[in-house]
Structure 1
Amino acid sequence: MMKPRSSYSKTAFILLFSVFLVAAVTKAKSSLPDITLEQAKEINADNTVIFLFRHGERCDRSDMPCYSDKSGITITGTEKAQQEG
């Protein structure tokens, strides 16, 4: 027995709406802006601010030697983070 045509239309609408909703949520900008190193230096000069480097060059995404283990950052990433303060 075949489904009525309206049932297919309803299913197609729900599917398209779901795809649109997922796309909209994944494309939404985060509440924190991306800033350049120069902007960070300007902010730091004007205020007492602590900048946290989330990670430098990650070992699991690089062929460079690791600073500690494979779940950490590379030696190069460590040096760059130290240079930036």
Structure 2
Amino acid sequence: MTITIFLKIMGLAFLEPVIDQNLYFMGAKLTSAGFATALVNILPAVTFVLALLLRMEKVRLRSLHSQAKIAGTVLTVAGAVLMVLYHG
């Protein structure tokens, strides 16, 4: 690894959390609080689905461990949808 590649990696490591949070707050300013909260709450489900698509996660439907993962993902998405759609 060259020094320029190392410096680029370090620059991204320091700037990414700042950029991420600033973009999140800019988006939250333009939408409702319920929708912004639902986006944060749905992140674990999106991560699980991406891991499935990239074959980093294996799901065996007969395994209790896999059933718990699927149930958690479904409950997370259902809760986020409920938060967005509920106007009470």
Please state which band the TM-score falls in when normalised by the shorter chain: 0.3 to 0.5
Could you tell me the TM-score, scaled by structure 1's length?
Answer: 0.37
Which one has the largest radius of gyration? Answer: 1
Higher helix content, 1 or 2 = 2
More RCO (CA 8 Å, sep 6+): 2
Q: TM-score, normalised by structure 2?
A: 0.37
